[in-house]
Structure 1
Amino acid sequence: MRYQRAEHPLKLNGLAAAREFFAGCLAESDPKIERLWVAHLDESLNCVHLTDHVGDEFGTDFPLRSIIADAANHGTVGILLAHNHPSGDPRPSDGDRRATRRLACAAEAMDCQVLDHLVFGGAQCSSFRQLGLL
């Protein structure tokens, strides 16, 4: 796992801003390796903390506990997730759906909301919010 400090003020207010930001994050990495990016946002939708979790060609861990701990430590109001599928298929897998639901439930208990989870496959991107999964 790698932590990065977000440039302030990095405002991620909406799907277009999130898609552009995370596409840039993923563009700098090997598309054959799955990576999960987690952005923690404040009440103004400014990114206050950003983490990068590197997996392999088969997937990456979904570190629910560390995401929730980071949310508590940073006073997170909203969480944005993004990861890539090395297969090139941008559709969320069943495992993606389960993990995101678990995170959304845990975050809700802390008055925090999972705002969206973007799945990139090649040049395409799926949004859990647009698909009605959040």
Structure 2
Amino acid sequence: MAARALFSGLRDATVEMVAVAYLDPNRRLLGMRHVIGGRDQVAISIRTIAVDALAFGAHGVILAHNHPSGDATPSARDVAFTRALEAGLRTLEVVLLDHLVIAGDEVTSLRAMGIV
């Protein structure tokens, strides 16, 4: 999976981090944003992601964050943020392609779970 390589830096982080990949219509990388959080949470606003998407002229976004706890199960907060982000980006004609939760070698796709 190409996303594993793209977000490999999150795998072994000891604090929560989020990475956002902005993609063109052919799913080529236009740019990324990384945000470092605390022991068990990281914050990035929907507005920040939307502004970046527009600045890059992105057609798609992949969001990924890690769980240093070792459990790649998305939290209720992860699910709620994903749904809000997807709705916000949709108004800008930008597609949320996936939200990945990474914990060590485990990767959970919210798209595969039917949330995106």
1:104-119 alignment runs, 5 A limit: 104-119=86-101
1:88 to 70, 81, 85: 70
Tell me the distance in 2 between the aligned counterparts of 1:123 and 1:43: 29
1:64 to 17, 39, 46: 46
**4+ residue segments displaced more than 2 Å:** none
Q: Deviations over 1:69-126 (max 9, x none)?
A: 0111111100001110011110110100111111100100011110001101122110
Tell me the distance in 2 between the aligned counterparts of 1:42 and 1:84: 24
The residue type paired with residue 113 of structure 2 is L
- Residue of structure 2 equivalent to 1:17: 2
Is residue 2:111 matched to residue 1:129? Answer: yes
The residue type paired with residue 26 of structure 1 is L
CA RMSD of aligned residues (A): 1.1
1:39-54 alignment runs, 5 A limit: 39-54=21-36
Question: TM-score, length-normalised on structure 2?
Answer: 0.94
Tell me the distance in 1 between the aligned counterparts of 2:84 and 2:109: 17
SS of 2:71's equivalent? coil
Q: Retained in 2: the 8 A contact 1:62–1:99?
A: no
Number of aligned positions between the proteins: 116
SS of 2:102's equivalent? strand
Tell me the distance in 1 between the aligned counterparts of 2:49 and 2:13: 23
The residue type paired with residue 53 of structure 2 is A
The residue type paired with residue 91 of structure 1 is T
Unaligned runs of 5+ in 2: none
1:18 CA displacement? 0.9
Unaligned runs of 5+ in 1: 1-15
Tell me the distance in 2 between the aligned counterparts of 1:19 and 1:108: 25
Report the identity percentage. Answer: 36
Question: TM-score, length-normalised on structure 1?
Answer: 0.82
